[in-house]
Amino acid sequence: MRPHVTVSALAALVFLALLALPAQAGLDAAWKAIPARVPTDSLPVVLRAMETRGAPGVRPGEAAYALGQFRYVRGEYAPAADAYLRAYARLTGPDRPVARYAYALAALALGNTGAARVAFLQVADESPELRALAQLGVAQSWDAERHPEKALDVLHALIAHDPGEAGAPALERFAALASQFHRDPEARVARTRLALHYPRSIEAARLGASFGVRGLMDGGPGSSRP
C-alpha cells in the first residue's frame, strides 16, 4: 500500500518547509487545494499538474513554489531549485523575492555558491523584509567557499544594524569568526548580544552549552576577567 498524506500531515510538511524558507501569505494556496488523502509519492505529479494546467484559486507560480518546498524538505535540492526558479518567473509583487530566496537556499545546499550569492544579493535589493536573511545567505556562501574574511565583513555589516530574524545565526557565526581572527572583544560583544536578545534561540543554547552563562558574557573559556 502506498503511503497517504492526511490534512494534518500536509500541514506538517508545509510547516517543515517554512522552517527553512520565509513564510509569505498567499503562497500556501496550492497546499490548501490538494485533497486530504493524496498519496505522498503523488504530490509532485499533482503540484506539477496545478502548475502547468492550472487549478481553481491557485496561481501557477504558487504551485511551482509548493513543489519546490516539497522537494526541498526531502533533500532533493536540484529539482527544488528548478521549481523555485519557475516560481520566481511566474510570481509577481512581494512573492517573487520569496521564491528567489528559496532558490538561493537550494543552490547553496547544492554547493552552487556563486549562483546562490548572486540570488541572495538580488533578494537583498528587491525585498527590505528579506534583506537581513539574504545578507546572512551571502555570508554563508563566502563561508562555504572558505573565504571567512569576506563572510566576517558581511556579517559585521549585518549586525551593525537590527538583523531581525537573521540575528541569532549571524551573531553566532560572527562571534566564531571574530575569535578565529583574534578579534576577541568583538566576539565577546556578539556573544553578549546573542545571549541578551535571542536567549531562547538554538544558537544561544549552543553557546551556553559551550561556554556557560558566565563564559558568554566574559568571552568564553580562559577569560581573564575575575
Residues 133 and 154 in one domain: no
Q: Are residues 116 and 58 in the same domain?
A: yes
Q: What cell numbers appear for 76 in the block?
A: 532533493
The total number of structural domains in the chain stands at 2
Same-domain pairing of 116 and 83 = yes
Residues 57 and 153 in one domain: no
Domain extent for 194: 147-226
Domain assignment present for residue 116? The answer is: yes
Question: Does 179 lie in the same domain as 127?
Answer: no
Does some domain include residue 201?
yes
For the chain, where are the alpha helices, taking DSSP H only? 7-20, 29-33, 43-53, 60-73, 77-90, 95-110, 113-126, 131-144, 148-159, 167-180, 184-197, 202-218
In a shared domain, residues 48 and 160: no
For the chain, report the end-to-end CA distance as a whole number of angstroms. 65
3-state secondary structure of 106: helix
Q: In a structure prediction context, what are the per-residue pLDDT tens digits for the chain, which is 226 residues long? A: 333 333 334 434 444 444 445 545 467 889 989 988 889 889 999 999 999 998 899 999 999 999 999 999 999 999 999 999 999 999 999 999 999 999 999 999 999 999 999 999 999 999 999 999 999 999 999 999 999 999 999 999 999 999 999 999 999 999 999 999 999 999 999 999 999 999 999 999 998 777 665 555 554 543 333 3
The answer on 16 and 108 residing in a single domain is yes
Domain boundary among 109, 137, 165: 137
Does any domain span residue 95? yes
Q: Is residue 142 part of a domain?
A: no
